[in-house]
Structure 1
């Protein structure tokens, strides 16, 4: 594709998690009050208390900054993780470790934050390793170190945090995957719709152009005036087809049923086929008319290509369009792209399409709401 057709890539729309997830990190900082109280009441050497306060401040900065950085860059939750996030994770662990001499058992209060950072900002493997490691370390400290059983509530919090992080991150990832799948399906359906529109439009136009070209070739010696008229029609048809393709690709084409009846009659007349219409286009709603016009276009194209018919009868009634020809009838080789396209259009419009042999001969196409 040449450069003039390129458009600037649009960033993917941010989810609520991407916009406001950092607020959760800030709200949970309230629970760092326990390490702060432990530092105030600590009997450790002043140097360790000073290190503890420094580590606590650094932990807050790293934790909040890492969350914001990860959300802006799209790290974690099933997406690639930058090296900077791993360095921040290592810094959080280091802050917790150097706080132990001054805070003792209260240093375990850092674990829920470290687990959450791994769950939301790193990989799924990091989530599981950190969650299991946090539970094991907390349980070992509370149960095995004398005097630390009084901090069993921290073990309960760590276990609950592991469960909450596991469930919530799984839901966020599934939601993100569902949104991505929805975008892919929407894109795929849009491409199929454009391809179907172009197929219907070009197939019909080229079939008519071919018939008129063959007619002009036969008339060029015997009736030059009529041959020139057919060539003029070919020029007009090709211009119309080009404009139609452009409008279809732009999503702006909407051929009315009245227009399609007129162009269909003209195309059939060029092939020596007469068309009779019973009913009025006004019997269908505007939305129904749009779908009916595409079905009629494809039905006439099939008549011109395959039917070898002499007469086409079109019946229009409330919630119903029927196209019947007196040709050789549908082939037994299965439905082609054109019939599948008609069925897809009918289904998208909430209608039912019937395609098969006519009562006496030929092919019968009916769309019904």
Structure 2
């Protein structure tokens, strides 16, 4: 498979519903900006400041929704590097709230919960703490210094509760992300050891057989040339099988996602004259599931190249499921290192692995979460 086709395969993976529609959550919460809008309608300030207030309100909405969408698409925040553009959007949100004060008065405090959430989920941890503390202090001082501001106690309660909620939820998200990252690193380390073991087993077995057959062919070349030719033909077939197996194993070691593993597996199978069919989309599995699934897929394809003598391999992907079926000669009697490695990886990922004969013929390898 060419690099262009591989890149196309990667682009065709559909985005998750959250990536496509998560921005709607930001739109729904904007309903609470009705209070600054009401304050502008009832404002007795100079017309100039009322116009400025309406412009600031519209710009605030555009910046908030746009920044939320930008954060979903480009990442940042929650322990990840934040782009400079997100900081400019954050500064714009604060500026809109400040210029609204002359026309809206205390109702401009309604912008604070949105600014707090943007800092917590879209910027850095330092920005979360500074913004949360500043929002609580500003709301508290407003109520203490301006007697008629006691009616805004509801906003103070909301700011306090939101500060707690944002702190707890973002901490949990960061810890979950860190645990997932460490899990990937540990799994990758185990996968490298497994690849080294697979290559050693494959090369050791193949070279042993090739050595024996070459010695036999050398003894027969004068006494039985026809049988010597047959042994040489077997050596050619064995080396071709070993090369294909090593190619599949090494390609699997380079692949970091299920999409890439499918592409490298297709290349290895095509070189052996085997057709690969894929049912479902890789995006049906979570990132952690995809990592384990890619290793199982690599091992299953390697086994097909080594033993199956198959013409077609079918990979089925669904939420919590990866199935690999071939139409070859079926599973052998014993369980090799490859099968044991797949079971160990599945167990470590909290999944169950099934291995056996297919419904019609061949072999079926299935992992379920």
Change (3 A) 1:244 1:60: closer
**What's the counterpart of residue 92 of structure 2?**
91
**What's the counterpart of residue 41 of structure 1?**
42
Per-residue CA shift, 1:166-205, capped at 9, x if unaligned? 2333344445455556666676666665554443332111
How far the C-alpha of 1:51 sits from its partner, in A, is 1.5
How far the C-alpha of 1:90 sits from its partner, in A, is 0.8
How far the C-alpha of 1:126 sits from its partner, in A, is 1.2
Distance 1:23 1:287 in 2: 52
Distance 1:64 1:259 in 2: 54
How far the C-alpha of 1:216 sits from its partner, in A, is 4.5
How far the C-alpha of 1:343 sits from its partner, in A, is 5.4
Higher relative contact order (CA 8 A, sep 6+): 2
Q: How does 1:1-369 map to 2 (within 5 A)?
A: 7-8=6-7, 10=10, 14-177=15-178, 195-217=196-218, 230-245=231-246, 250=265, 251=298, 252-254=301-303, 289-290=331-332, 292=334, 294=336, 344=341
Distance 1:94 1:146 in 2: 25
Give the secondary structure class of the aligned counterpart of 2:51: helix
Q: Are 1:200 and 1:294, in contact at CA under 8 Å, matched by a contact in 2? A: no
Of stretches 10-19 and 30-39 in structure 1, the one that deviates more from structure 2 is 10-19
Of stretches 75-84 and 212-221 in structure 1, the one that deviates more from structure 2 is 212-221
Distance 2:339 2:208 in 1: 18
How far the C-alpha of 1:131 sits from its partner, in A, is 1.1
Across the aligned residues of Structure 1 and Structure 2, the Cα RMSD in angstroms comes to: 4.1
Per-residue CA shift, 1:115-172, capped at 9, x if unaligned? 1111122222211211111111111211233221221111001111112222333344
Q: How many pairs does the alignment contain?
A: 280
**What's the counterpart of residue 357 of structure 2?**
none
Distance 1:104 1:66 in 2: 26
Distance 1:181 1:229 in 2: 52
Change (3 A) 1:227 1:174: same
Per-residue CA shift, 1:271-305, capped at 9, x if unaligned? xxxxxxxxxxxxxxx9994471636xxxxxxxxxx
Of stretches 38-47 and 246-255 in structure 1, the one that deviates more from structure 2 is 246-255
Distance 2:64 2:340 in 1: 56
Give the secondary structure class of the aligned counterpart of 2:147: coil
For normalisation by structure 1, the TM-score amounts to 0.62
Distance 1:15 1:78 in 2: 22
How far the C-alpha of 1:72 sits from its partner, in A, is 2.1
Change (3 A) 1:256 1:294: farther
Q: Are 1:112 and 1:158, in contact at CA under 8 Å, matched by a contact in 2? A: yes
How far the C-alpha of 1:207 sits from its partner, in A, is 0.8
Per-residue CA shift, 1:298-350, capped at 9, x if unaligned? xxxxxxxxxxxxxxxxxxxxxxxxxxxxxxxxxxxxxxxxxxx6853675799
Change (3 A) 1:6 1:41: closer
Change (3 A) 1:182 1:53: same
Distance 1:65 1:151 in 2: 29
Give the secondary structure class of the aligned counterpart of 1:128: helix
Q: Are 2:52 and 2:100, in contact at CA under 8 Å, matched by a contact in 1? A: yes
For normalisation by structure 2, the TM-score amounts to 0.62
Q: Which has the larger Rg?
A: 1
How far the C-alpha of 1:236 sits from its partner, in A, is 3.8
Distance 1:287 1:227 in 2: 28
Distance 1:14 1:163 in 2: 31
For structure 1, the residue ranges without an aligned partner over 5 or more in a row are 261-285, 296-340, 351-369
